[in-house]
Amino acid sequence: MQPYLQVARKNQRSFASPEGVRQYGYSRGSFLTITLFNMVLSSILLLLALPVMLIIALVVKLRDGGPVLYFGTRLGLGGKPFKMIKIRTLPVGADKLIGAEMLSHQHKLTTPFSKLLRDTRLDELPQLFNVLKGDMDFVGPRPERPEVYAKLCKQIPNYEERFRVRPGLIGYAQLFTPHSCPKRIRAFIDNKYVHLKRSIIWDLVIVVFTGLVLTRAVLLKGGAFVWRNVVKAWLLKDYMERRELERVAQRHASLCLRIFSESDQVCQGDFTLVDMNEEYVKIYSDMDLADQSIRIYRLENVSRRLGKKKRKRCTVMGEVVRKRELPNAGPRFVYIIRYKAISQLNQYLVDQYFLHKSIV
């Protein structure tokens, strides 16, 4: 028997009795109230989102002719598997290629349009049907794939706490951390939610807040997508260099390199970090870095929040893949460096504070 099915058999209780309801962190009254709230709000949002989903479905169908919807097995209340509905953003059969891994750019399975859907969470609109059906709440820990749970999550202390409540369309960990955030950190955030007293007002506040954040993301990212792929490339017939990964400008970021030369002497210096994506960083420098191995021992970003400066640092490894000499006065060279975080925690720091992958 699969590990996640053992959890389901062990924990599953019927909600027909008050004891079954309390087993999963709900009082009987709150369970019925939240269920009614889910049915009413999901019905309203489905009517409002229907035109958007029809347009997206038409584009998905025209692109490759495959199915529009994807039905993936997820673990729900009590560890019981259910079918979660999404708009398909990956090729048919991609789940077999990914297996128990987390999807990343290295799988090379996304297109600019599918990446837009995933970044703006528009692909998750059909999950309103799951909320209406009763498989999910609006707010709660995000449902986990059985393969990921069995391989990466089962050994995390208290991870099964999430199965005490229904999974959510909106998760605290999903809202405030990028997808690469270590599972232990995400589980800690989700478990804090599980033990909170359920409140319809608070759930409604989170839904409205998330709606405003995603509306802003749709306008910004959608506008950029239309400008690059429709207006410039199609209407204006403008040549564009096609890039699989989106570059993120770094306004207040710096990079400090530790350089190992052929004579094993170590020198280090600070450089201007211009932009980066999930695989490369672009820097300006007066130092010649040709034929040298590099350890980027500090990426530093300074951000302002609520009037205060916050410095975030992380460590990655890197190698120069392209060098160009600049003709104008100022920095002598521009370099493209392929980098890789030295740990999962450092990858999370890169995604959160340099690539800004979290929703908020």
**Mind spelling out the 3-state secondary structure of the chain?**
CCHHHHHHHHHCCCCCCHHHHHHCCCCHHHHHHHHHHHHHHHHHHHHHHHHHHHHHHHHHHHHHCCCCEEEEEEECHHHCEEEEEEECCCCCCHHHHHCCCCCCHHHCCCCHHHHHHHHHCHHHCCHHHHHHHCCCEEECCCCECHHHHHHHHCCCCCHHHHHHCCCEEECHHHHHCCCCCCHHHHHHHHHHHHCCCCCHHHHHHHHHHHHHHHHHHHHHHHHHHHHHHHHHHHHCCCCCCCCCCCCEECCCEEEEEEEECCCCCEEEEEEEEEEECCCEEEEEECCCCCCCEEEEEEEEEEEEECCEEEEEEEEEEEEEEEEEECCCCCCCEEEEEEEEECCHHHHHHHHHHCCCCCCC
Instruction: Give the predicted TM-score (pTM) of the model.
Output: 0.81
Residue 287 has pLDDT above 70, yes or no: yes
Q: What are the structural domains of the chain? A: 3-229 (no CATH), 248-353 (2.40.10.220)
For residues 276-295, average pLDDT: 76
Residue 76 has pLDDT above 70, yes or no: yes
For position 297, what pLDDT does the model report? 58
For position 261, what pLDDT does the model report? 52
| Residue 16's pLDDT band (cuts 50, 70, 90) | very low
**Is the pLDDT higher at 351 or at 244?**
351
Residue 171 has pLDDT above 80, yes or no: yes
User: What percentage of the chain has pLDDT greater than the value 70?
Assistant: 76
For residues 79-84, average pLDDT: 93
For position 95, what pLDDT does the model report? 66
